[in-house]
Amino acid sequence: MILQPFTIDINTFCGDMGMWADGRKLRAGVDFSMREYSPGVHGEFPVYHVDTMSFDADRLLEDLARPENANCLVCCEFWFTYSHREVFSRLQKAGECANAGLLYTWTAPIKFYKAYGEKVVDKPIIWVTPEAIEGVQRVKVNVENKFLEDHGLFNVIAKVEGEKHDSCYVFTAHYDHLGNLGRRVYYPGANDNASGTATIVTLAAHYARNKPEYDMYFVAFSGEDANLRGSTYFAEHPVVPLSQIGYLFNIDMIGDDNPALYCEVSDAGMGRYPDFEAVNAEKGLFTELNRGDLAANSDHYPFAVRGVPCIFLENQEGSAFPHYHTPADNMKTVRFESYEPVFKLVTGFIGK
């Protein structure tokens, strides 16, 4: 086993984390969380609620220029801000408008992300549930951030030698998660992605007991939740030439109970995708394999865009799925039904 070190810049929230709505204390990680690139924020602010039913960008900017709205937090439903991101991105920048920051409403369970935490914008942005902020006139916020430069992380790489060394299989999962939101709120990441990490450990144990035909590499990535930084570093600094990878299996969030399995396949991997379907049908593992469009949503992507045959396996929309990226992704909510069929699907594919 070897460690592959790399560094990232990342924004963190491990200090003060408090918010009050019209004097009512909100719960970090339940009623609110922070946008990953938000600065810290301290003070009391009026709330300006955006009228999305008769929205007019010019009128919004005019309203925010009024003295009574100075230093306010602008509150709006997240997907509405996304569809009008040109105007709302201006509200994140110093000198553009007099607002102090933004409140993005998101239906419960409230999420926390790290994907774009390699920067800090000018003004604070807070995720909040609609129930927590509805009708609220003033909020008090006390949130501390710390931006880490060149923060050291590492990928963990293990190898089981096969009979042949001119080609290999690679099994990947990310072992990082979100860490803390303030001092008291912790994100366990049981499904995302202790489930995938545990799976590749058991696959390594299986092939250590049953010598494979080809070399097998098992890679636990860090930095996945920070925009695939660990897998990107590995793809740029591979310990085995990418051209020698016969197939790569990325296992992420399989701790769920949906009888169907979601997957994404690289263009180079599509030639053997029928083998997955055949193994699944022969062994009666999942009701179906739902293949989605290739996306930069997990650690297979840096390899897919570099021409590596690969597949991403994830169990979506089961009873555990709503808890991902929340403090409730823990041993009480994670499920184990999909582990054995995923194990059999991967080993059955290799057996072909």
pLDDT digits (tens, 9 = 90+) for 38-83: 999 999 999 999 999 999 999 999 999 999 899 999 999 999 999 9
Would you place residue 239 in the very low, low, confident or very high pLDDT band (cuts 50, 70, 90)?
A: very high
Residues 6 or more apart whose Cβ sits within 8 Å of residue 271: 309
Kindly state whether residues 202 and 93 are assigned to the same domain: no
Read off the pLDDT of each residue in 141-164 and give the average, rounded to a whole number.
Answer: 98
Q: Do strands 245-251 and 310-314 pair parallel, antiparallel, or not at all (unpaired)? A: parallel
What SS3 string covers 247-276?
EEEEECCCCCCCCCEEEEECHHHHHHHHHH
pLDDT digits (tens, 9 = 90+) for 264-282: 999 999 999 999 999 999 9
Residue 246's alpha-carbon distances to 63, 163, 213, 240, in angstroms, are: 59, 15, 12, 11
Kindly state whether residues 96 and 155 are assigned to the same domain: no
pTM over 0.85: yes
Read off the pLDDT of each residue in 143-147 and give the average, rounded to a whole number.
Answer: 98
Cross-strand bridge partners of residue 125: 102
Kindly state whether residues 86 and 108 are assigned to the same domain: yes
Asked whether residue 2 is domain-assigned, the answer is no
Kindly state whether residues 326 and 233 are assigned to the same domain: yes
Coil, helix or strand for 71? Answer: coil
Asked whether residue 12 is domain-assigned, the answer is no
Peptide bond into 327 cis (omega under 30): no
Closest among 13, 5, 48, 4 to 32, alpha carbons compared = 13
Does 95 have pLDDT greater than 90? no
**Which pLDDT value is given to residue 104?**
97
Domain containing residue 235: CATH number: 3.40.630.10
Query: In which region does residue 202 sit, left (phi positive, over 0), alpha (psi from -120 to 50) or beta (all else)?
Result: alpha
Asked whether residue 8 is domain-assigned, the answer is no
**Which pLDDT value is given to residue 297?**
96
Asked whether residue 331 is domain-assigned, the answer is yes
- Tell me the percentage of the chain whose pLDDT exceeds 70: 100
Kindly state whether residues 125 and 212 are assigned to the same domain: no
Q: Are 222 and 143 in contact (CB under 8 A)?
A: no
Kindly state whether residues 128 and 183 are assigned to the same domain: no
Domain that holds residue 112: 17-143
How many structural domains comprise the chain? Answer: 2
How many of the other CB atoms lie within 10 Å of CB of 251? 29
Q: Are 60 and 99 in contact (CB under 8 A)?
A: no
Domain boundary among 114, 143, 172: 143
Task: Report which residue type is found at 122.
Answer: D
Query: What's the whole-number average pLDDT of the chain?
Result: 96
Asked whether residue 7 is domain-assigned, the answer is no
Termini Cα distance of the chain: 28
pLDDT digits (tens, 9 = 90+) for 310-335: 999 999 999 999 999 999 999 999 99
Does 96 have pLDDT greater than 90? no
Domain boundary among 115, 143, 171: 143
The 24-25 sheet, strands edge to edge = 24-25, 17-21, 138-143, 41-49, 73-77, 101-105, 125-128, 32-34
Asked whether residue 11 is domain-assigned, the answer is no
Would you place residue 190 in the very low, low, confident or very high pLDDT band (cuts 50, 70, 90)?
A: very high
Kindly state whether residues 170 and 242 are assigned to the same domain: yes
